[in-house]
C-alpha cells in the first residue's frame, strides 16, 4: 500500500454508504483487476454472493 494512503477516503465512503466495508488486497494498487483477479473476484463474492 502506498505510504501516502491513509484510508480517509475509504472511511468516508463507509460513512456514506449503508452496509459498506473496506476489504484490503495486498499488492494490488490501482490495477487490482489485472494484478489479482482471483482475489478481487473472491472479495466481490463476499459482498454480492451469486443468486
Model pLDDT, residue 16: 94
Query: Over the chain, what is the mean pLDDT?
Result: 82
The share of the chain scoring above pLDDT 90, in percent, equals 22
Measured in degrees and rounded to the nearest 5, phi and psi for residue 5 equal: -85, 125
For the ranges 27-31, 37-41, 44-48, which has the lowest average pLDDT? 27-31
What is the band of 4 on the pLDDT scale with cuts at 50, 70, 90? Answer: low
- For 10, phi then psi, to 5°, come to -65, -40
Amino acid at each position: 500500500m502506498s505510504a501516502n494512503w491513509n484510508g480517509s477516503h475509504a472511511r468516508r465512503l463507509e460513512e456514506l454508504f449503508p452496509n459498506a466495508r473496506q476489504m484490503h488486497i495486498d499488492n494490488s494498487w490501482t490495477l487490482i483487476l489485472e494484478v489479482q483477479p482471483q482475489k478481487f473476484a473472491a472479495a466481490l463474492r463476499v459482498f454480492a454472493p451469486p443468486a
